[in-house]
Amino acid sequence: MMNSWSFTRRQALAVGVGGLVSSSLSPVLALATDGEDPAAIITDLANDAFNLFGSLNGVSGDWTSRRTWATDVTKARFATKMMGEKAGGVFLREFSDSKRRTFDTLIEGVVGEFILDIFALYEPNTTFTVNRVRPNRSNTAILMETTVFTHGKNYNVKWTVVDDEGVSKISDVSVFGLNLVSDFRASIERAFRDDEAAGVIAMLQTRIRRGENKYPQPS
């Protein structure tokens, strides 16, 4: 059983997950000593978000640079294909190859909008605190519990980091009482029962458009 750790984002970067968990049982944990620190993925991401969103939120109504950042981060650091497979489950068996490719692309887009929505809350005095870093029970992922303080409120955000073909990537996020993969799963099930694969694709497209309307950029 691991102890609970409380430290700042800068301390997390200095200590790294290698100083918090044993790296002998899992490829994910081993990455901590092989130069790829799963905890630093989150803290680096938060640092970048502070630099960009903290200076623009509430000041600029043009979300182009922030959406570009969220898109790039999603492509580089989120295991979106894995997330889609977990959420889609058995329903994905009914997708044609072309619809499956469309599904994977749309999942990536929805995750990007979700990340944009999280960091849209940031302001110059926002703080990001890492509360705990630990392996999951099966030693196949790193779980990172953090707290974001912004606009006078605390938001608990939980991250899951996995090994995705040799690269540490985020495979799930829980915030605002919402677990991203679980939310995908429920939405996909409803949409599939309504109109099979076409319904799922339409639902994901709607979610992306909703985000684009909420955080617009010049046409």
140-167 tens-digit pLDDT: 999 999 999 998 999 999 999 999 988 8
2 pLDDT band, cuts 50/70/90, is very low
List alpha helices for 16-96, DSSP H: 27-30, 38-56, 64-77, 80-88
Question: Is the pLDDT higher at 31 or at 106?
Answer: 106
Strand positions, DSSP E, the chain: 7-8, 127-135, 141-150, 153-164, 167-175, 178-179
- Please report the pLDDT score of residue 62 as a whole number: 94
Taking the whole predicted model, whether its pTM rises above 0.85 is answered as no
Residue 16 has pLDDT above 70, yes or no: no
How far is the CA of 29 from the CAs of 74, 117, 173, in angstroms?
Answer: 22, 29, 19
d(CA 126, CA 56): 13
Contacts of 86 (CB under 8 A, 6+ apart): 171, 181, 185
In the chain, the amino acid numbered 125 is: N
Question: Is the pLDDT higher at 91 or at 25?
Answer: 91
- Please report the pLDDT score of residue 153 as a whole number: 92
d(CA 141, CA 170): 9
10 pLDDT band, cuts 50/70/90, is very low
Most confident of 2-16, 38-52, 155-169: 155-169
d(CA 48, CA 138): 31
Residue 3 tokens read as 């102890």
Q: What is the DSSP letter of 21?
A: S
CA 45 to chain centre: 10
- Please report the pLDDT score of residue 21 as a whole number: 36
d(CA 79, CA 41): 13
Give domain 7-214's CATH architecture: Roll (3.10)
* Percent of the chain surpassing pLDDT 70: 83
- Please report the pLDDT score of residue 36 as a whole number: 64
Q: What is the mean pLDDT of residues 80-93?
A: 97
